[in-house]
Structure 1
Amino acid sequence: MAFSIQQRGNVFLVLAVCLLVLGVCAPFSGHDLQRALQIALALGALLYGLAAPNTAWVDRPTALGLGLVIALGLLSSALAHRPLWAFTEVALLVSCGVIALAFATLRRYGGEPLDRVLLLVVVLLCLIKSSQYLHAVMQAFSSGQRVLDLDLLLSGFSNKRFYGQFQTFTLPLLALPLLMPKLPRSLRVGVFALLSVWWLIAISGGTRGTWLGMGAAGVLLVALGPFGRRWLAWQLAAVGGGLLLYWLLFTMLAGYLGIETSSDAGDRLTTSLSGRAEIWWQAWHMIVERPWLGFGPMQFADIPNDVATHPHQAILQWASEWGVPSTLCVAVLAWRGGWATFSVLRERALSAQRSDVLRLCLFAALVGALTQSMVDGVIVMPISQLWLALVVGWLMALHCWAVAPTALPAPVSHLWKLLSVLAVGLLIVVAVRDVPHIAQAQQRYVGDTHNRLQPRFWAQGVIALPGS
């Protein structure tokens, strides 16, 4: 019996929710598991997308621009020093597109009830992570230890910056219920308390990129009418609540119990680049040496350094690896998409419909994430890539076209499906090849005088051969 597109969508929705919850909330979760879950979700999105009808999601100029970016990426990969890893990075880009289109299709056929599902998933994830955090705080205070490292209170991510990236996507969305006029008072109080705790975690984690991204989103949303200003007001109020909780827990209570804290939020209030200057210069020299096609996708990780396997700056990363022409094309595409959404938000600034308010919060999450990508690896980490695909896909489904785009020609649609199958297939092959040996590879890398892992595709992300 053949499944309808709606039934396939329900299966994909259950799969997506399970993988998102497992990837973020499992205590044993980390970079490698999250990458594996991303590949599993890409496979589910592919199977769902192959059954979907040929639908026009973008206009012709956008489709041509995306095709040019992929073509330049394939050419750059063919000339790269590690071509298989370069093609793997292109496959990651295509798979993120597959996931975004799957979420867009899911929302289009599921309608507004799916918006409530998305909100419930965000609330559930934040509630679980907040409970884990507060439980860790209580355990730390009752353990009898005299020194409390606040970084140890964060779980589920290999690095607290990755946790901060996840919060940049979810902080804007968690404010959505507070913007709905008919929300019962008890629920409003509960959501605000959760948002305040979520800000407490962001403050104690000290990810400056999250603060920068949320600040940029707030400045932009002020210009988007009363709901944008209300969104900012609720966020500022929750920041105040988070600061109050931080002071009560880690200043007053910790002092009363005689516990000294380390890795305080105040320690992060610096203008230090945290080693980024070295990797930014490395990326710049790569751009100067090969401006047209770059060194190849993921090839920054083929030039070992003591800091990172990516520049922690999206523009420098794309230009050094994919080339300047590809970077300009991506920038134009991002600007066109962002401006189109901004224009719709201005036109519907007074609308209190759930879909319009959700669009506002999704746009804030996108602006925050793109801003954070200027100082952090948002376009590199698996959970961040997943949430970026989800946000973009949902915005595509909610977009109001002035002139509806026409469907792509059948040959182009078939070519995209073939490319999607090859991309997801390559990711599966890489996972099957590497996953059984990940632990040994990490031990060897750390044992060879390296004191920590440098994530890229896997947690040990250096792709240069030893001695090269």
Structure 2
Amino acid sequence: MQLGAYSWGLLITFACIFLLGTVFSFNFSYLVGIDSEYDLKRFLVIGFIWLASLGLCFVKDVEFIRLSRLTKVSLTIFFVLAIVSAFFSKHPFWGMVEITNIGILIIAFYLFALSINSMKRSILYFAVYAGVLFFSVLTFAKYILFLFFSYADAQSFDIHGLLTGYVNVRFFNQLQVMVTPLLFLPFFVQSLAKFKRVSIVFVALHWAVLLQTEARGAMLSLILASVVLFFFVDANTRKQFISTMLQTMLFGICLWLVFIIIIPYWLMDSSSFQIRTGSSGRLDLWLYVLKSIPERLWLGFGPMSFTWAEGKPLPHAHPHNSVMQLLYEYGVICSIVCIAWVLSRIYKRLRYLYLANDVEVIPIIYALLSGLCYSLFSGVVVMPLAQLMLVFVVAMQVQYGTCRGYKASVVVRMLLFLVVSVMAFVLLNTYKNEELLPALFPRMWVNGLISY
């Protein structure tokens, strides 16, 4: 098999599992006999990575990207400390399960990067745009149908009432913060310019849904990420970017006012809109983390340890903040290493944008920044499809890099497949494990809590 065929197969399969895990998850979970749509997403992600690693064994002339020295050192420090932390934790087995999940996602990054670098940029961007647009079309088709059904039945709806395929509407918001920026591709890629009006409509619809679902963190992330980008583009690009952002936001606000506020109020004499000023318990969770850190300052309480943390103010399986999660579960040393590495990579990418004025990469960087911002308010680094989407967006950052890769022989690829198979077996073997409490607080699976 040629690398080009494999790359297309990987992207198409990724799009299929993405749709099966979102738009069609209710029907597909019933078809395959999996109780929870959340668990279905985890199965799909693991199965996708396993299948992709199997397919790689049959590809000719495979060349993996070569990591920088900084990245190698950072990864080594992270995994060594994470393994030590896991063995000193209350549940070493579950700590190693979390490390295994991180490992399989790193392999997914390699597979994505391999495929992305084998494609022409214009073709890749068209494929990515077509994928996110198709996902948006199907999502909003169902959303509008449910909205009209609620009108016809004169039934009010809450933030979860118009979206299906997600245990929690925040799981959709986690995807939105990375999908919405990619819909900006026609404004910066000349070959896609004819889709500008289409993008304006669908970005506006995303804003309307963000407002309807009261996704304050997601909206803030999209705005903050765009503001950061404004400082690294030239004046003309900045003006175009601001204009496009304002158009889509205002259009989205108008759609929200008409279809979510005014019409329901007219038909049902009620509106689901309310201004929330609380933190939904997040501040309490973060304060708990900060108070607990001194007990295990250097190594943390162990990977996945928040699932069995004692005395939490809320029974969540993660603290809804990637930095707080790092601090609590991996300790200060790992946190400093990871945060420093992420900031250095972001700065390098933004500096490239500033010096090269390569406007085509703006939506790609925007998607990454937005996803990382939202990880400070939600479980982007925890939920299965959000994890995989973030890995894909990160892989797009290394496209067409100047660093040379290295050839991967058939033996290396077969060993990689065996490693992925073992990882997949370990992860899947934890499904409905007897140590998991029967409570709907997702982490690895929908029943994510572990007894202390």
TM-score after normalising by structure 2: 0.88
CA displacement at 1:181 relative to structure 2: 4.7
Question: Over the residues paired in the alignment, what is the CA RMSD in angstroms?
Answer: 2.7
1:296-350 deviation per Cα after TM superposition (whole angstroms, max 9, x unaligned)? 100110125434111111111111111111111111211121111111111222x
Match status 1:299 vs 2:301: no
1:384 paired residue among 377, 383, 386 = 386
Match of 1:280 in 2: 286
Match of 2:137 in 1: 127
Q: In structure 2, do the counterparts of structure 1 residues 99 and 461 end up closer, same or farther at CA, with 3 Å as the change threshold?
A: same
Q: In structure 2, do the counterparts of structure 1 residues 77 and 190 end up closer, same or farther at CA, with 3 Å as the change threshold?
A: same
Identity %: 23
Mapping of 1:117-196 within 5 angstroms? 117-145=127-155, 147-181=156-190, 187-196=195-204
CA displacement at 1:93 relative to structure 2: 1.2
Query: Are 1:295 and 1:321, in contact at CA under 8 Å, matched by a contact in 2?
Result: yes
Q: In structure 2, do the counterparts of structure 1 residues 405 and 285 end up closer, same or farther at CA, with 3 Å as the change threshold?
A: farther
Match of 2:337 in 1: 329
Match of 1:457 in 2: 444
Query: Aligned partner of 1:152: which letter?
Result: G
Matches of 1:254 and 1:328, distance apart in 2: 49
Matches of 2:309 and 2:303, distance apart in 1: 13
Match of 1:100 in 2: 109
For structure 2, list consecutive stretches of 5 or more residues without a partner in the other structure: 30-36
CA displacement at 1:427 relative to structure 2: 3.4
Q: In structure 2, do the counterparts of structure 1 residues 307 and 8 end up closer, same or farther at CA, with 3 Å as the change threshold?
A: same
Matches of 1:27 and 1:153, distance apart in 2: 15
For this pair of structures, how many residues does the alignment match? 435
Match of 1:219 in 2: 227
Match of 1:369 in 2: 371
CA displacement at 1:220 relative to structure 2: 1.1
Q: In structure 2, do the counterparts of structure 1 residues 433 and 77 end up closer, same or farther at CA, with 3 Å as the change threshold?
A: closer
3-state DSSP of counterpart to 2:157: strand
3-state DSSP of counterpart to 1:455: coil
CA displacement at 1:386 relative to structure 2: 0.7
3-state DSSP of counterpart to 2:66: coil
Query: Are 1:293 and 1:323, in contact at CA under 8 Å, matched by a contact in 2?
Result: yes
Matches of 1:93 and 1:286, distance apart in 2: 24
Query: Are 1:56 and 1:405, in contact at CA under 8 Å, matched by a contact in 2?
Result: yes
3-state DSSP of counterpart to 1:461: coil
Matches of 1:408 and 1:342, distance apart in 2: 29
Match of 1:255 in 2: 265
Matches of 2:144 and 2:425, distance apart in 1: 37
Match status 1:425 vs 2:422: yes
Query: Are 1:12 and 1:44, in contact at CA under 8 Å, matched by a contact in 2?
Result: no
CA displacement at 1:34 relative to structure 2: 1.0
Matches of 2:14 and 2:193, distance apart in 1: 29
Match of 1:449 in 2: none
Matches of 1:276 and 1:40, distance apart in 2: 32
Q: In structure 2, do the counterparts of structure 1 residues 169 and 125 end up closer, same or farther at CA, with 3 Å as the change threshold?
A: same
Q: In structure 2, do the counterparts of structure 1 residues 196 and 389 end up closer, same or farther at CA, with 3 Å as the change threshold?
A: same
3-state DSSP of counterpart to 1:323: helix
